Structure 1
């Protein structure tokens, strides 16, 4: 029994490592930190996150994504933005929160498209393709999340680059980074093991 458990642990750990190496290795060239290196696209997709932390303070992940999205509009790298996030209630609406933040910073509302059904990364990307009709885009999120976004986008047939927003101090958000290791593994399972190949 102990040997079985040991091998299960080893196999699980190895699978997680393989998935992460595969995702990062196959997408790193699409990670862009300087907006001048972007090819440009009609639309940018901003992935939602909570505007506030549990303690009520502003969420730096949210703030940096909004700032990066604004930069792409101001420099003409995208013509409009799809703000994709989840909406649990009238009190929690990630897309609406991003819109308000961008409008407050001088962005015209008519270039902002709200997608309030982006509950997961894969759903945001599927809706970009299937609902809004885009097959080329610039993704906006933090670097740790960007690799998975690009991996999923490629599997869905999308042409994408990712403009990475500033990542807050990693030591302060270590759990978010560790969760991403598992999220990448789940992405591989969803796309290549559980998928019905209809995407």
Structure 2
């Protein structure tokens, strides 16, 4: 009986912590996410978070497509002068920054305005590298709203002034899994930033 009580208590504690982290992160950042680029203050650089350009079945990934459209809009509106394309590179056949570059050039963005960062394997890594590798402490982030909360929270904790230009989010049936994963990713971000990251900060 005690084991059951302890198990239930542990589960409730985990759920409470997950809810706390999500409420904290969303509450702290929601006022800096904009769907209208005219509301942005702007910055020298925009940080575009990578994702695969294709779905598992080979169809275009709507998350990727909409992020690229939003990033191109920022350049054309003059809200940013250049874009850091941060994502992962697993092999010569899978390189998110190169995929983003190709898509943005097709949308009329000059290659001279694009910086490729193929070591952005995680959101935390992308934001940290913006500061530590490229030397920027202010930026406009480009991603979907559900992801923007975590991106801005990480930026706050790393001392980076950031706002987010919200790329359109696909219909609910296309992104419900991504939103569910994000609930846990926000909790992990708190653990990383307050327990793990300071120990590994060089």
Bin of the TM-score, shorter chain as denominator length: over 0.9
1:92 maps to 94
> What is the alpha-carbon root mean square deviation over aligned residues?
0.9
How does the TM-score come out when normalised to structure 1?
0.98
- Out of 168, 173, 193, the position equivalent to 2:170 is 168
Whole-angstrom CA distance in 1 between matches of 2:198 and 2:128: 14
Q: Is the 2:69–2:107 contact (alpha carbons within 8 Å) kept by the matching residues of 1?
A: no
SS in structure 1 opposite 2:179?
helix
- Displacement over 3 Å in runs of 4+: none
Whole-angstrom CA distance in 1 between matches of 2:80 and 2:197: 32
- Out of 100, 104, 107, the position equivalent to 1:105 is 107
Gaps of 5+ in 1: none
2:121 maps to 119
1:2 maps to 4
1:71 maps to 73
Whole-angstrom CA distance in 1 between matches of 2:78 and 2:58: 34
The alignment of Structure 1 onto Structure 2 pairs a total of residues equal to 199
Verify: 1:41 aligned to 2:43, yes or no.
yes
1:9-34 CA-to-partner distances (Å, cap 9, x unmatched) read 10000000000000000011111111
- Out of 140, 143, 149, the position equivalent to 2:151 is 149
SS in structure 2 opposite 1:106?
coil
Whole-angstrom CA distance in 1 between matches of 2:188 and 2:111: 35
